[in-house]
Amino acid sequence: MSDEKDWSELDPAIVENYAAGRPRDDANLGRARVELLKRDHRYAEEQEQARRQYEDDRAATRREHEEQLMRRQMEHASKLAQEQLDATRAVEKAANRAAWAAGLAVFGAIAQAIIAAAIIAAVVAYYS
């Protein structure tokens, strides 16, 4: 087992047996322990990479959720603003109609005053 490439291809159980330190495996003890350390290091790197990927995915999901929430809030605010604009226009229209109605009422009152004055003048002229 002198070739390092062979050590990396060995089954983990075999490498662990060599690394256990039995007298018959003394010739392979150092290489077996080095291979176990390499495998442990590689595993730790893979775990760290998986953790980073998980954190990146989680952050991306969080950003996406926040963007969706912001879009919904903007849509809601837009709808609310449109409703307020519609209500303002309705109030403006009602105020215009009320102003016209008040103007017509004044015109009607003037017309009634003129008619009343004409009637009074006619009555006074009739009895004079």
Q: Which residues, 6+ apart, have CB-to-CB distance to 33 below 8 Å?
A: 19
- The string of DSSP codes covering 53-92 is HHHHHHHHHHHHHHHHHHHHHHHHHHHHHHHHHHHHHHHH
Contact in structure between 33 and 50 (CB atoms under 8 Å): no
Interatomic CA distance for residues 101 and 106, integer angstroms:
9
C-beta atoms surrounding 19 within 10 Å: 19
pLDDT one-digit tens code per residue, 51-99: 999 999 999 999 999 999 999 999 999 999 999 999 999 999 999 999 9
Q: Give the integer Cα–Cα distance in Å for 62 and 106.
A: 65
The predicted model scores a pTM of 0.52
Maximum CA pair distance of the chain? 153
1-60 pLDDT, tens per residue? 555 558 888 888 888 888 888 777 778 888 888 999 999 999 999 999 999 999 999 999
Displacement of CA 67 from its chain's centroid (Å): 4
